Amino acid sequence: DGGITQSPKYLFRKEGQNVTLSCEQNLNHDAMYWYRQDPGQGLRLIYYSQIVNDFQKGDIAEGYSVSREKKESFPLTVTSAQKNPTAFYLCASSILGGNTGELFFGEGSRLTVL
């Protein structure tokens, strides 16, 4: 079945460590996105990519990095520079190259920093 797969679902990290969250889609979507979700807040955009080998910063890109080497994959690295990384991270994709279309979300990855 087509969809978006995020892994791991749960991740624990010690302070000072980098971690990478995986996002894979087999929907043949051009655009992919990473959002951060904190309790009581809407989803905030970290990075997005409309095409392979190109990506743009969102509102809260500091402390995060991404790559888009393949159309299907858009991994997110949470670096040690991110001061408050504990959150629920959501990956999404859309058909349109722009951001006017519907977003299809993965099931999320919950990162906890110990």
Binding site for another protein (CB under 8 A): 4, 6, 33, 35, 40-45, 48, 50, 56, 59, 90, 92, 98-100, 102-108, 110
Output the smallest distance, CB 15 to another protein, in A.
24
Nearer to another protein, 35 or 64 (CB): 35
Nearer to another protein, 73 or 105 (CB): 105
User: What DSSP assignment string belongs to 24-65?
Assistant: EE-S--SEEEEEEE-TTS--EEEEEEEETTEEEE-TT-TTEE
Nearer to another protein, 48 or 72 (CB): 48
Which among 113, 111, 109 is positioned nearest to 9, based on CA atoms? 109
